[in-house]
Chains A and B, each alone.
Chain A
Amino acid sequence: MLFALRLWFLFCGQALSREMEYRLHLWLSFLIDVVWYAVQVGLFEVIYLHTSTVAGWTRAEMAVFLGTLFVVDALNMALFSTNFWRIPQYVLTGELDFFLLKPVSPFFLVFLRYPNVASFLNLAVALTVLGYGLSQVPLPSVWSAAVYPVFIVNGLLCMLSFQALIGAIAIRIFAAEGIQQTFHILYQFGMKPDSIYTPVVRRILLYVFPMGLVASVPAQVVLGKASWELISTGLFIPPLLLVGSRWVFLRALRYYTGASA
């Protein structure tokens, strides 16, 4: 574990050196997510000009939801997303061979080899939005505040799990860009509070395709609005999902035949 952590810091150092060579690219990458945050905030700001609540969420509570979404998204972008998009390239060029030969878990290398430095800057913006939201609502209870980071991590685990499942498909088929885009298309369901959906869709977003666990459940936990069902689902499903998706990903690697030879 300590070895993996040391290795990851080494990857971060390399990523930082690369980004420092192309500083304009670093700032433009940072700008992309800032614009995305602005668009999401802008949508709700316009809606709240004409109403006081949306599906039981006040403007301040929505700021907490958006802050949570941005934090999970920034962490995902910083840690896993760049690596996820590289999977088809690893398969096509045979670069995956080198990951399999190294004395480290291939799952760790495939999903953490290339950290995204710009997204660490975005994390600061995301935390600012979250801080603003939390300053506008009553103070959370000690219990809510204590478990909130666990739910954030679990939201991140959900994102990693879906990317691992799609990554497994990408290993089996060669032109996987379309499949990878599917993840980002379906991720839109997680970008809104789960209470806007009908009960059936909400169940699907909790148990079948748990995008509701990415930001909606953590935000409800810190706001003290989460039921015991949501809390238990948010605590236990993401680790199980990760174990399952890691198993599927490692099984898919057995079908990888290499392309560099």
Chain B
Amino acid sequence: MRRLWVYSSVLRLGLSAALMYRANFLFTAGLTVLVGVAVQLFLWSAVYGWGRQQTFASIPFAQMALYIACATLSLGLTRSGRVERMVAEEIRTGELVRYLLKPVGHVPYMLSMALAERAVTFPVVLALALIAMWIALPELSFQLAIGQRLVWAVPFLLLGMTLNFLMGLGISYAAFWLDEVWTLHVVKDISLWFLSGQLVPLLLLPSGLRQLSEWLPFQYIAYVPAGILSGLIPMEAVFVLLGRALLWCVLLSSLVAMLWHVGLRRFGAYGG
């Protein structure tokens, strides 16, 4: 109970820190999402021949547009942030000792900070997804139960956020062995544009790659939440996906915890 109180305090602190630069953060994040969605929509409009072609790989344009908007929003929300990257710098400079002296676990402490960082954008992303659904809905030939889909998308967004956080933290813990891990964070973020399904729905991949993507954790970051919101993923599949996403959370948490324990043995901080 006491631990819960500690981490809720960390969450509140993190929220204050995130809100300190809200104008700059929302401007950059907002522009990234808006330009990303706009360029993607122009591309997919051209792919559909500006209305001449009704479907592409059996997907109507409105559904594809809704998917692209939701996937970009989803990746924008779940992408790794300042918190995870900061850990590598703290390991390098030795500032990590600050956490070692406190009665808190490093992973839950960082998770609380990361949740606070994302909490600022979470309602904005959900509102924008709702607007995108509302615009696309009259164009869709099938019934899209907005309420039900939004309710199901929320846990997947949280799971996607957690998975991306764990990947980012795992990379930062590599700083116990490597001098420079910033580049690995960038490689991960760029790879996720494709692997998470932000640029193209994963169901359009060749069958071998598609089957492989179903067993990897990246799809929960953008493809699954956006697929649920746009109707590309049938509601019957959500329970299986939920189970697999939770399994990945457990696996990655264990891996990150192992990296922390092994890495800590190599850690040395010097100075007064």
Contact = CB atoms under 8 A, between A and B. Distances in A.
Interface of A: 22, 24-25, 28-29, 31-32, 35-36, 38-39, 42-43, 46-47, 49-51, 54-55, 175, 178, 181-182, 185-186, 188-189, 191-192, 195-198, 201
A29 B185 CA distance: 11
B148 interface: no
Nearest to A186: B35
B28 interface: yes
Contacts, number: 82
Interface of B: 24, 27-28, 31-32, 35-36, 39, 42-43, 45-47, 56-57, 178-180, 183-184, 186-187, 190-191, 193-194, 199-200, 204-206
B186 A32 contact: yes
A104 B70 CA distance: 50
B190 A46 contact: no
Question: Counting chain B CB atoms within 10 Å of each CB, which of A22, A46, A51 scores highest?
Answer: A46
Given A32-B190, A36-B190, A196-B42, A49 B204 contact: yes
Given A24-B180, A43-B199, A49 B206 contact: yes
B39 A35 contact: no
A46 B206 CA distance: 8
A184 to B, nearest CB: 9
B183 A195 contact: no
A26 to B, nearest CB: 10
Complex A-B, nearest 7 residue pairs according to Cβ-Cβ distance, in ascending order: A28-B183, A55-B46, A196-B46, A39-B194, A50-B57, A43-B199, A46-B200
A24 B184 CA distance: 11
Nearest to A36: B190
9 contacts: A47-B200, A50-B57, A50-B204, A185-B35, A186-B35, A189-B35, A191-B39, A192-B42, A201-B42
A29 B183 contact: yes
By DSSP majority rule, is chain B's interface helix, strand, loop, or mixed?
helix
Contacts of B57: 50
B35 A35 contact: no
Given A43-B199, A54-B47, A192-B39, A185 B31 contact: yes
A202 to B, nearest CB: 10
A45 to B, nearest CB: 9
A178 B206 contact: no
A8 to B, nearest CB: 25
Contacts of A54: 43, 46-47
Contacts of A22: 179-180
A176 to B, nearest CB: 11
Question: Counting chain A CB atoms within 10 Å of each CB, which of B27, B46, B191, B199 scores highest?
Answer: B46
A188 B35 contact: yes
A189 B40 CA distance: 10
A35 B194 CA distance: 10
A24 B27 CA distance: 34
Contact of B204 (A25, A46, A181, A195): A46
B36 A39 contact: no
A35 B192 CA distance: 10
A29 B199 CA distance: 23
Nearest to B57: A50
B179 A178 contact: no
Nearest to A56: B46
Contacts of B24: 175, 178
B28 to A, nearest CB: 5
Question: Counting chain B CB atoms within 10 Å of each CB, which of A28, A189, A195 scores highest?
Answer: A28
Nearest to B33: A185
Given A32-B190, A178-B27, A188 B36 contact: yes
B180 A178 contact: no
A35 B204 contact: no
Given A35-B190, A42-B194, A42-B200, 15 more contacts: A22-B179, A28-B180, A28-B184, A39-B199, A47-B204, A50-B56, A178-B28, A181-B28, A181-B32, A185-B28, A188-B39, A192-B42, A192-B43, A196-B42, A197-B42
Contacts of B180: 22, 24-25, 28
